Structure formats: C-alpha cells, structure tokens
Amino acid sequence: MDPAADVSVLELVVTSGLNDSVFPPGIPLGRVAVADPAPGRLERRVEVRPVSDLAQLRLVSVLRTGTLMPS
C-alpha cells in the first residue's frame, strides 16, 4: 500500500485481482476500521474489519495454487 494513499474509515476493501490472483477483482473483504496517517513515514497502520461474521461460517473453501505432489 502506498503510504500516501487516501484511506478513509468505513471504506470498503475488496480483492484487486492483480498479478494473476486466484481471486477475481471486487470481492468484498472488509471495511477500514482504523487508518492512522503516516506523514513522512514509509509505512502506515490500517485495520480492516471483515464484512462477514466469521463466527457464523459453516462452510469454507480452501483455494490452492500450484501442483500438488503425490505423497
């Protein structure tokens, strides 16, 4: 993330789909809860709260990339 990027509290964070990502662009992940400014610094702190209630998940899928080696 560019430290100079404009990040606002409650802004929606989505997948980018960059660099041949497994995930397509635009999938909602969460909303910005904290966005500390970083004047003159190379990093900044941004906290994102998930849009889904993770405690309520009953089924998840695990996506793997690459080739599985036989055991």
Strands, E assignment, 8-69: 12-14, 28-35, 46-50
pTM for the structure as a whole: 0.68
CA distances from 40 to 6, 44, 50 (A): 15, 10, 29
pLDDT of residue 1: 67
pLDDT of residue 31: 96
Cα–Cα distance between 10 and 25 in angstroms, integer? 19
pLDDT in tens, the chain (71 residues): 666 778 899 999 998 888 877 788 898 999 999 988 777 777 788 899 999 898 998 888 776 666 555 55
